[in-house]
Every structure is written in structure tokens, then in C-alpha cells.
Structure 1
Amino acid sequence: MPDWGFPDFDDHEGVHLFTDPDSGLRAVIAIHSTALGPAAGGVRYWHYADSSAAITDALRLSRGMSYKNAMAGLPMGGGKGVVLAPKPGGTITHAQLEAFGRAVESLCGRYVTAEDVGMSEERMKVIASQTRHVSGLPVAAGSAGGDPGPYTAMGVYLGVKAAAKRGLGVDSMQGVHVAVQGVGSVGGGLARLLAKDGAKLTLADVNAEKAAALAAELGADTASADAILTMQADIVSPNALGAILTETSIPQLQCKVVSGGANNQLATRLDGRRLHARGILYSPDYVINAGGIINVGLEYLGQGDRAEVEARIARIPDRLAQVWDESERSGDPESEVADRIAQQLIGRG
């Protein structure tokens, strides 16, 4: 593999850099694999320290999408779009959304975009004015598609319950202490579902007021965004941004299970081994958080309705069990087992 100066480059089929002087758009679209079909993955709007950090994020996320789509049984490859925000908390403009749509269109269907961090259904509609290679658009009741967040949350919820049974030996979430990092569309949806089951929740978010409001609604506790990972709990559920399980943070974990919807939770491959060495059960992120891409993928492909989406999401615990079983059999970390299975599915095993 050639050394392009990006350790996360994994024989990606294409890494495309876009600028649009008129709108000020700066964007990256990374296509990891189209072995199973068009490369599907959302676009996020985010502020990065520099362009190299944005490219690295796109590389990691697109590879994760290849694995996620393969493990979800979708006939789609993996890609990811990143639009660079000039400052934290910035707002993407209508013209930049249109320019990104033209960038997607220029790839002639090899990349299918959808909603991710910093985007919305309304913003996807603007992108769709310039290209048909968009999913996650508003749809009629009962149809596949629309906001992927609730579907991701549902899959993560089912995965967390499966992880609780596997790692804690419980059949009910009643009284199980779950520390939820991030209470956006996915983490917030997960927290509401767990609250209905009687779980004991501690919530954290970079927006402390948002976490406090949801905690008040659900009767949960709160913690700081920094402290949530290292507090004593049965399950730690990362549902914010990635690379939070590190050489530094893993020794501080006080839980038996890590199970959440954030992408790229492991900062490095070695961190999967560190978790495994501590005997902490891990739910590989791209397996547990596939609900959203199942929804928008079936929308784009025109294959099935909401009932089909929910039926496929219901299989997420079975895929996790496959990984956990093989990890127990082989002694290898769950993260590496999942990677091997996914690589075989996309013809790179």
C-alpha cells in the first residue's frame, strides 16, 4: 500500500477534494469501496483543526461505512462526505449546500450522500436539488427513508440490551446503570428508550444545558462531558464523536460493557486490544449503529418499506452475537473479529 502520509488510507478507491470559490465550499468525499454497490455514507459539517484532520476523518468514516454496510447486508459500498466549517458552530450556507450537491453529482453515482452531523432533512433537500444521489429525504408515512437518527437510535438500543445480557447476564434493563455520552438524535433517542425500560441513566453532552433538560425529562442524573467515560457504571455508551477510547481513557473505564452509537470510537487498532485485555465487552460501532444506513439505504435502493427497515434493524443483536461468539472462540478482540468479517464480505479478507 503506498504511503500517502495518511495512516488511515486503506486502499481507498478515491479521495476527492472540492473547492467552490463562489460559495466558499471546502469539502472532502472519500470512497473506500464500491465492491458491493455505490459507496453510501452521510455528509457531516464540522470544524477541523486543519485540512489534514478533515481528510483523516473522511478516510476513517468511509472505511467504517464499507464495513457497516457489508455487515448490515446492504448491496452498497462505503463512502463519506465532509464539509469543512470555517469556525466552530458555523452554519453552512444554501450556496454551499448546492455546491456540495454538484460535487456529489460529479462522481456519477459512485457516492450516495445522506444526513450526518451538522446536517438535516432540509439541508439534504437543497443538496438533492443538484443531484439525485441523495438519501434520507422526507418521505411518506410508512416508507423507508427520512431522518436516519431515530433508526440508528433503535438499533443501538437493541444492541445495548443484547450487550447487557451478554456482558452483565441480565434479561432486563431495570436498574442497569448506563452512562450515555452525547444526547443528540442518537444518544437522546437511546436514553428515552432505556428510560422506558427502567434503566438508571447518567447523561452528558458538550451542551450541558441540553443534557440537563433531557435528564429532567427522564429523571436521570448528569455528568460533565469529560467525566462521563470514567464514571462507575454498568455500561458506558458513547454516542458523540469518535476516537474517545484511547490509551489514556481505557485504563480509567469503570464499566463492564462499552456499547454505543458513535462512529470510530477506538482511536487506534491497539485500543480494541486494550479493551479486550481488560475484559470489557465491546459492541463494534459500525455493527451496532447500522440502523440509520439501513433506513436510508433501502430508501435509495427502493427496496422495502418501514416494516422491512425495522425487520433488518432487529437483526443487529444477531450480528453482534456473531462477533462476540467468534471473539470468545478465537480469543481475539471484538473489534478485530468484526473487521475480519467485514473485510471478507467486501472481498478484502
Structure 2
Amino acid sequence: MLSRVFGAGTEDGGHEQVVLCHDRSSGLKAIIAIHSTALGPALGGTRFFPYPTEEEALQDALNLSRGMSYKNALAGLDLGGGKAVIIGDPAQDKNEAVLRAYGRFVESLRGRYVTACDVGTYVQDMDVVARETSFVTGRSPEHGGAGDSSILTAFGVFQGMRASARARWGQPTLRGKRVGVAGVGKVGHYLVGHLVEDGATVVVTDVSETAVNRVRAAHPEVGVAADTAALLASGLDVYAPCALGGALTDETVGALGAAGTAIVCGAANNQLAHPGVEKDLAERGILYAPDYLVNSGGVIQVADEIEGFDFDRAKKKATRIFDTTLEIFTRAAADGIPPALAADRLAEKRMREISALRSVLLPAARRS
């Protein structure tokens, strides 16, 4: 466990801090992972999920927090990367006491970590967490917050998909293309709306029949696949994984290649199941838009809340995902490397250069 925290055998140097949180009275069990504060306080959401084991919860926290460092760096934010996971079934275990206990642990970090929504947590939950800490974003508009960050997450993924279409087919549109969306929950159903409006033929799948029915009610023209395997085999131009991580396995990439899929661009975090998948995608001629680049619209939205939220300002920032995605594709082609590696290098360059500014001594504030 400690070797994973300290980054033994990895190139990124491991994590700065990992906090194990246990409140006996409420039953809270949580992990807060701070990967990097090179650019500023670590911002990242809180995932509430029934992990089979505590080991898997820790691994998810480590992976997700590292991804947040890279996401925030590429988004141009002065924020580092962190993530928290609460172990439990949100439908049964989430209550005021658990959320407020969690908020007190966030407060104990004194601003090194700023939390927000993620899988299993919602705007209303962040309002409860905020009763114990000021280091929380993604709050409801009634409390001065940004509201549902899924809106700009989906918008950003759509911008990344438009850029991918531009790079692959010469035009920044999905009109006439067949797009498969796996997972139509908080983000996926908004993404479907953008795609339908743009003129794409959309096919969806989700383990939740309720989620599928909601999409079908809003967009009756959308097709439904029985499961992800059926979706992958259905002849997609674009595949959008929008559920949990690890979606791009060796088997998945093989199925995409066999079906002639041209682009992978989706909202899920940590899509690459293991190192090397990005090379397999490139070798099969599948253009991969790095997940932490295209799904950064949500963190752009909640980060804007720190300044005093303005939706138009946040949306304008999220629109830049289109340009950054094109830049990544250009760098990847020039260097002969997969886009995922090009994105890593650009994010690491910014973290390295900005953190080096700490060598410039600032005068201490005058004491009263």
C-alpha cells in the first residue's frame, strides 16, 4: 500500500499526502488523496461508491487524484490535483452525519484540498458538506454555487469530440456520424443532447434502465444497445465511454478496431485500463482524445465558483477544450507519439514550470 502512495517504480514521484478518515459515530470511512499542489490547492470531487475492498478504494483515490493534477494543469487552472472516496452505498449509507463528518476531515486540511461532486455525490450533498468546511465547490445556486457541474463536463466532452472530428474528417461536426455513448447518467445524458442537436446518429447503453428511459423520453430517435459489447460491435464512428474508469481494455480496443471505429472521446475518468492501451489505439488507427483533457469542463465550472461563479465565463473557458485538443493532436503527430502521451507531457511541463516559480522569494506579509 505504501509503495503505491509513495510512487515506487513510477515516474511522477507519487502522492504528496493521503488521509484515511474514520468517524466511528457516523460510520464514515473515506480516503482523501492529494497528488500534487504544484499549481495550487488540490481540487477534485468526492466519489461515494460501494467498493468491494478498501484496497480498491485506495487505488481508485490514487488514480483519480493523479488524473486531477493533469486535468487541472491542462485546463490552465491554478489548482493541483486531489480526490476523495467515501466507502459505502450512497443509496443506503449516505446521510447528513456521514457528509458532515467528511466535511470536518476536509476542513482539517486547511485548504490543501478543495472538494466537489463526483459519482454518487450531488450538489445537495456539497451543501451539507459545506456546513462543516469552506473548502467545497459545486454547491447549489441558492448557496452561491455553480450547481450541476455535469452540464459543462458534457459541453467540454462535446468540444473535444468536435476537435477530434476536425482532426479525423476535416470538419468540426458529428453530423451524419454514428456515435455510441456508454453510460447516460449525470454527464452522458447531457452529451447525448449536444450530439442530437449536432445531427449525429446516437446509440446508448447503460446498466440503469431508468437512465436509458430518461434519454429516450427526451430524444426518442436515440437507439439503445443491450450492453457495451453490443454497442461496440454496432459499427460506430465514435465511441464515448461515460461510465466508470478502465473502459478501454485490450478486448475493448480489439472490438473497436474490428468494427472500424475512428475516434474514442468520452467523459469517464481513467479510461485506459493499463499502460500500453494508448499505443494499441494508435496502432489501430483509432484517434484517442485523452479523457482528463476533454472531461475538464466540470472542474472548470466548479473552479470558477472559487472566484464567484459566472456561468458565461466558465463556459467560455470550457470552449477552449476544442483548441487544446487540437493542439494535443498536433503535438502527438509531430512527435510521433500517442495523444495521451502528448497530453501528459504538456501537463507535466506546466506543473514543472509553474512550481519552479517558488524559487522566487516573496516578501513576508507585514505583521500587525
Q: Under a length normalisation based on structure 1, what TM-score does the superposition of the two structures give?
A: 0.93
1:41 maps to 44
Instruction: Tell me, yes or no, if the aligned pair for 2:4 and 2:14 is still in contact at 8 Å.
Output: no
| Separation of aligned partners in 2, 1:270 and 1:209 | 35
Equivalent position of 2:295 in the other structure: 289
> 1:131 deviation in Å?
0.3
Structure (1 or 2) with the larger CA radius of gyration: 2
State the partner residue of 1:268. 274
In structure 2, do the counterparts of structure 1 residues 59 and 305 end up closer, same or farther at CA, with 3 Å as the change threshold?
same
Alpha-carbon shift at residue 269 of structure 1 (Å): 1.9
97-106 or 268-277: which moved more?
268-277
Structure-1 residue corresponding to 2:209: 208
- Of 257, 262, 279 in structure 1, the residue corresponding to residue 285 of structure 2 is 279
TM-superposed CA distance for 1:206, in Å, is 1.1
Paired residue type of 2:109? L
For residue 108 of structure 2, the aligned residue among 101, 106, 109 is: 106
Does residue 177 of structure 2 align to residue 176 of structure 1? yes
Q: Distance in 2 between matches of 1:49 and 1:92?
A: 17
Find the counterpart in structure 2 of residue 136 from structure 1.
Answer: 138
Separation of aligned partners in 2, 1:233 and 1:46: 31
In structure 2, the residue matched to 1:342 is 347
The equivalent residue for 2:33 is 30
Closer, same or farther: CA 239–10 of 1 in aligned 2, 3 Å: farther
Contact kept, 8 Å, 1:98 with 1:127, in 2: the verdict is yes
Q: Which residue matches 2:316?
A: 311
- 1:46–1:117 contact (8 Å) kept in structure 2: yes
1:3 maps to a residue whose letter is S
Q: Alpha carbon RMSD of aligned pairs, Å? A: 2.1
Is structure 2 residue 253 aligned with structure 1 residue 250?
A: yes
Per-residue deviation, 1:88: 8.0
Partner of 1:3: 3
CA–CA distance in 2 between the matches of 1:53 and 1:168? 40
The reply to whether residue 323 of structure 1 matches residue 328 of structure 2 is: yes
- CA distance, structure 2, for counterparts of residue 171 and residue 35 of structure 1: 34
Match of 1:150 in 2: 151
CA-to-aligned-CA distance 1:38-82 (integer Å, 9 cap, x gap): 000000100112011111101111011100111111110000010
Distance 2:167 2:145 in 1: 31
Q: What's the counterpart of residue 93 of structure 1?
A: 95
Query: Which amino acid letter does the alignment assign opposite residue 278 of structure 2?
Result: G
Pair 1:199–1:72, CA change in 2 (3 A): same
Identity of matched residues, %: 41
Q: Given that residues 203 and 215 in structure 1 are in contact (C-alpha distance below 8 angstroms), is that contact kept between their aligned partners in structure 2?
A: no
CA offset at residue 209 of structure 1? 3.8
Q: Contact 2:137–2:145 at 8 Å: present in 1 too?
A: no
**Do the aligned residues in 2 keep the contact of 1:152 with 1:291 (CA within 8 Å)?**
yes
**2:164·2:172 contact (CA, 8 Å) conserved in 1?**
no
Q: 1:197 maps to which residue? A: 198
Figure out how many residues of one structure are paired with residues of the other and give that number. 345
Alpha carbons 2:90, 2:120 under 8 Å: kept: no
Q: 1:332 maps to what in 2?
A: 337
Unaligned runs of 5+ in 1: none
- 1:144–1:309 Cα contact (<8 Å) kept: no
- SS of equivalent residue, structure 2 residue 192: helix
Cα deviation digits, residues 142-161 of structure 1 (max 9, x gap): x8722111010111111111
1:73 pairs with 2:76: yes
Q: Which amino acid aligns with 1:172?
A: T
Whether the 8 Å contact between 2:245 and 2:273 is mirrored in structure 1 is yes
Secondary structure of 1:65's aligned partner: helix
Distance 1:132 1:16 in 2: 18
Aligned to 1:90, the other structure's residue is in SS state helix
The CA distance in 2 between the partners of 1:331 and 1:101, in whole Å, is: 45
Q: Residues 6-43 of structure 1, C-alpha deviation per residue, up to 9 Å, x if partnerless? A: 77885210011111110010000000000111000000
1:232-260 C-alpha deviation (Å, 9 max, x unpaired): 10000011111010122111113100011
